[in-house]
Structure 1
Amino acid sequence: MKALAAAVILALGLPALAQEAKPLEPGRESLAIPYEKYKLKNGLEVILSVDRKLPIVAVNIWYHVGAYHETPGRTGFAHLFEHMMFQGSKNVADDVHISLLEQLGATDLNGTTSFDRTNYFETVPSNHLETALWLESDRMGFLLDTLTPEKLETQREVVKNERRQGTEAAPYGLAQEKFWQALFPLPHPYHGEVIGSMEDLNAANVADVKDFFRKWYAPSNATLAVVGDFDVAKTKALIEKYFGSLPSGPKPEKPQVAPVKLTGEKVIRHDEKVATLPMLSLGWLSPPYLTEGDATADVLATVLATGKASRLYKRLVLDKQIAQSVEASQQSLGAQSAFTIEVVARPGVSTEALQKEVDAVLEDIRKNGITQEELNRARTRYDTRMLSGLESVGGFSGKADVLQNYNQFVGEPSYLAQDLARYQAVSVEDVKRYANENLRPDGRVVLHAVPAPQAAPASPKENK
């Protein structure tokens, strides 16, 4: 079979670059996701993985561009293109991309943008795979043929309205933006939000947008994953037919940015205009995704605020009843991550009171660490979360997205077993050491988002 596959690749004029998953540790072979990876002559990377549980196929494209790759003064372009790519292309009429797929019975149809990548995906019945590949190739190769100032203006307004709803008019939206900007000050490209600023969105013109597309949306900067019930040889032929002739330049270089260092405590006080309850946020810079310390931070975040037995939830919400909600997370990113804690106060409770209790919990972990039971519970949560997504071939956290994710960050699509092994390797001593070395009071951002005091309602006597 391997010889036959190689023959098919060469017959199609493709380089014989197919790869197989690396051998796994004994007993963990069941976690491997079988795949084949190769490149077209124009640089498009292809990942194929057969899964015959259902007669459906997931088509998933990652463009290796996100907010990290934008330049100052031109933020929000990656997210803007998430919208523009559904607007229409040379052979697809305006605003019918989604409806065409839905008419075929497509599900899990979406596009998303992060700091590190932009992706588009859909799951279709197996007999409609060719149509899905054609639609993706047409907007990859021929979007600019129909790009007009009117189309740009339409999507610009859509994105600006999305920013108004998601940031400017959302509870704590502007406060959280200030918080993130303090963690990643300019010129770091993680500064601000993926959606961009109103000023930069207003400044974008057709020439800017076309230049951005030509640089970052070329086949050489994209990976196509096809996962599900399909014929491998026929699918390779279809991929060559629809994508192989698309022109492409060299793969663009990823920006080289020095990591941010926090050398003191930065305190932000924000007058909250939308929410009615105070919120406290604490943030530290942390290791990049899949690097040493990233899994340890995930474990600590789970111990702190996932479930009713977690440290912060039990102390602030259940025992002292001073908080409405508590969240902690390791926001893993490609260049540098952020470990954050967010607490919403109950009525009448100050953010200073919240901070005192949060710091007490953190200090206890620095001194005494966590228990083995807490560590085991965190490991189980991550195993369950990661493996449950693999029941689907497409969609968020489906098999196609998992293969793409690992391929982008480590170059190995079938990295699931190695990823889960990171959590098994974390010890209680590692968590204690991480808390002491990384969650220091003198290297963090503290946000106090406090609404203005509400006037007391007038008494009936005063109303007369």
Structure 2
Amino acid sequence: MKALVAAAALALGLPALAQEAKPPESSRQELAIPYEKYTLPNGLEVLLSVDRKLPIVAVNVWYHVGAYHEVPGRTGFAHLFEHMMFQGSKHVPDDVHIAMLEQLGATDLNGTTNTDRTNYFETVPSNHLETALWLESDRMGYLLDTLSQDKLQTQQEVVKNERRLGTETAPYGIADEKLWHALFPAPHPYHGNVIGSMADLEAATVEDVKEFFRKWYAPSNATLAIVGDFDVEKTKALVEKYFGTLRSAPKPQKPQVAPVKLTREQVIRHEEQVATLPRLSMSWLSPPYLSEGDATADVLGTTLATGKASRLYKRLVLEKQLAQSVSASQQSLGAQSVFSIEVTARPGVSTDTLRKEVDAVLEDVRKNGVTPQEIARARTRYGTLFLGGLQSIGGFGGKADVLQSYNHFTGDPDYLEKDLARYQSVTPEQVKRFAQEQLRPDARAVLHAVPPQQAPAASKENK
């Protein structure tokens, strides 16, 4: 599932229609986000889009650096640096960046890091746009003026605690990390999976932070999006005032990394110490975001495990009652994506039994494909998600985020309708071929995460 529509899925109830449904013409018109794109002399890209529904403005800054750009021995550094950006800069006192925005009535205020980019965003009342731009420009231009060892150590501990909570003590956290490492062995930059390792987080130095900032946080490696109710000419003047004088530096080159190829099935058996139910996970390397096959993977994931009519849910949860839950999804990434299936067992059911059942479903797709009705349901789902995200100007999946995402990955902010068209063009034959070529048993990693032996439970496996 794509990042720009994932947030909408949390809020929308998705219909499971049995007939093909294309977005109505009015909906297609809503997909168009009018914008203007230009570049300052120092290399900063600017995206402006006027939306006067409400007297608010979304400010969204993307730095084109993520985990993919990290060097060996510094996994987790892009995310650690994201935290440093909230610690104060030359004209903004320590730890008041968020408080200042909240006092202005800001919402959708956050910063996030993934494999391919780091972003910072807030939505403010229109009359406070200038303050938001000043805050963003000050940390873009003058973060290093107040950088200290104490600030770094504080954020190192914060991020290390995030790792403890999100990986080391989370249900299936260590197991999932083992699976990810099997897919992306070191020194591939995806190996650290954004959060990085404890050893690398502890090893980061102030000089590392300075070098990272100078290389990757230059205006030439950033894009500023402003979406909402604002005066275009006045806003351009504000952008020039606060960003136009920032240092100029050459745009850094993206690392060139050879794609990973799995040439045999890798099986991982992990003794799960946190969760209480066994879980089976299967993962394959798949086409990058927006490339050929990416939308096909999304459609197949929906067909397999979204809704009660999906194949895995119907077979494993409803009919055979072997599983508590199932999921199948395409995690779309810039270099290589990951297609995954996860099944959590009911008490008394082994992951080996689940594996046989999942393989049977996949083999049926490889041999017989999927139906036009199943593809129609998936198309309807993604159309709904796209439209839902565009109801907001800021935050995750809002208009500013959409413009930024397409600009980052394609150079064309006006890519939304083309993206949706990818799903309209997926055919049953393409889904069948994807399952045959991409989801091969000899090109996957399989994780059996099983808790220590518990008291015998009534077996469900012969049902």
Measured in 1, the distance between the counterparts of 2:412 and 2:35 equals 10
Q: Is the counterpart of residue 219 in structure 1 residue 232 in structure 2?
A: no
- Give the equivalent residue in structure 1 for 2:197: 197
Q: Per-residue displacement from partner, 1:202-254 (whole Å, max 9, x unpaired)?
A: 10010011101110011010000000000000000000000011102100000
Three-state SS of the structure 2 residue aligned to 1:430 is helix
Instruction: Map 1:315-330 to 2 at 5 A.
Output: 315-330=315-330
- Give the equivalent residue in structure 2 for 1:306: 306
- Give the equivalent residue in structure 1 for 2:182: 182
Alignment check: 8 A CA contact 2:67 2:78 kept: yes
- Give the equivalent residue in structure 2 for 1:347: 347
Alignment check: 8 A CA contact 2:279 2:351 kept: yes
Instruction: Map 1:58-137 to 2 at 5 A.
Output: 58-137=58-137
Measured in 1, the distance between the counterparts of 2:300 and 2:160 equals 36
CA, structure 1 residues 85+352, in 2 after alignment: closer, same or farther (shift >3 Å)? Answer: same
Q: Is the counterpart of residue 367 in structure 1 residue 351 in structure 2?
A: no
The alpha carbon displacement at 1:31 in A equals: 2.6
- Give the equivalent residue in structure 2 for 1:296: 296
Measured in 2, the distance between the counterparts of 1:115 and 1:201 equals 17
Three-state SS of the structure 1 residue aligned to 2:274 is coil
When structure 1 is superposed on structure 2, of 191-200 and 65-74 the one drifting more is 191-200
- Give the equivalent residue in structure 1 for 2:283: 283
Three-state SS of the structure 1 residue aligned to 2:187 is coil
When structure 1 is superposed on structure 2, of 446-455 and 407-416 the one drifting more is 446-455
Q: Per-residue displacement from partner, 1:405-459 (whole Å, max 9, x unpaired)?
A: 00000010011100000000000111011101110111100001111013579xx
- Give the equivalent residue in structure 1 for 2:143: 143
Q: Is the counterpart of residue 333 in structure 1 residue 333 in structure 2?
A: yes
Q: Read off the aligned partner of 2:422 and give its amino acid letter.
A: R
Instruction: Map 1:235-250 to 2 at 5 A.
Output: 235-250=235-250
- Give the equivalent residue in structure 1 for 2:410: 410
TM-score (norm. length: structure 2): 0.92
Alignment check: 8 A CA contact 2:67 2:192 kept: no
Q: Read off the aligned partner of 1:133 and give its amino acid letter.
A: L
Measured in 2, the distance between the counterparts of 1:124 and 1:414 equals 24
Measured in 2, the distance between the counterparts of 1:409 and 1:374 equals 29
Measured in 1, the distance between the counterparts of 2:193 and 2:455 equals 34
Mark the structure with the bigger radius of gyration.
Answer: 1
Q: Per-residue displacement from partner, 1:266-294 (whole Å, max 9, x unpaired)?
A: 10111111111111000111000000000
Q: Read off the aligned partner of 1:276 and give its amino acid letter.
A: T
Three-state SS of the structure 2 residue aligned to 1:292 is coil
Measured in 2, the distance between the counterparts of 1:287 and 1:261 equals 12
Three-state SS of the structure 2 residue aligned to 1:429 is helix
CA, structure 1 residues 257+222, in 2 after alignment: closer, same or farther (shift >3 Å)? Answer: same
Q: Read off the aligned partner of 1:287 and give its amino acid letter.
A: P
Measured in 2, the distance between the counterparts of 1:347 and 1:455 equals 10
The alpha carbon displacement at 1:29 in A equals: 5.0
Measured in 2, the distance between the counterparts of 1:102 and 1:239 equals 22
The alpha carbon displacement at 1:387 in A equals: 1.2
- Give the equivalent residue in structure 1 for 2:48: 48
Measured in 1, the distance between the counterparts of 2:406 and 2:304 equals 27
Measured in 1, the distance between the counterparts of 2:31 and 2:455 equals 59
Q: Per-residue displacement from partner, 1:143-198 (whole Å, max 9, x unpaired)?
A: 11101000000000000000000000000000000101101112211113201110
Q: Per-residue displacement from partner, 1:51-73 (whole Å, max 9, x unpaired)?
A: 01110000000000000000000
Q: Read off the aligned partner of 1:93 and give its amino acid letter.
A: P
- Give the equivalent residue in structure 2 for 1:397: 397
- Give the equivalent residue in structure 1 for 2:22: none
Measured in 2, the distance between the counterparts of 1:273 and 1:29 equals 51
- Give the equivalent residue in structure 2 for 1:438: 438
Q: Is the counterpart of residue 209 in structure 1 residue 209 in structure 2?
A: yes
Q: Read off the aligned partner of 1:105 and give its amino acid letter.
A: G
When structure 1 is superposed on structure 2, of 29-38 and 192-201 the one drifting more is 29-38
Matched residue count: 433
Alignment check: 8 A CA contact 2:383 2:420 kept: yes
The alpha carbon displacement at 1:26 in A equals: 13
Q: Per-residue displacement from partner, 1:316-340 (whole Å, max 9, x unpaired)?
A: 1111111111111100000110100
Three-state SS of the structure 2 residue aligned to 1:347 is coil
Measured in 1, the distance between the counterparts of 2:456 and 2:377 equals 46
TM-score (norm. length: structure 1): 0.92
Higher relative contact order (CA 8 A, sep 6+): 2
Measured in 2, the distance between the counterparts of 1:75 and 1:190 equals 9
Measured in 2, the distance between the counterparts of 1:329 and 1:29 equals 28
Q: Per-residue displacement from partner, 1:15-69 (whole Å, max 9, x unpaired)?
A: xxxxxxxxxx999555321110011111000000000111000000000000000
Post-superposition, which runs of at least 4 consecutive aligned residues in structure 1 deviate over 2 A?
A: 25-31, 454-457
The runs of 5 or more residues in structure 1 that have no matched partner are 1-24, 458-464
Measured in 1, the distance between the counterparts of 2:55 and 2:28 equals 27
Q: Read off the aligned partner of 1:113 and give its amino acid letter.
A: T
Three-state SS of the structure 2 residue aligned to 1:442 is helix
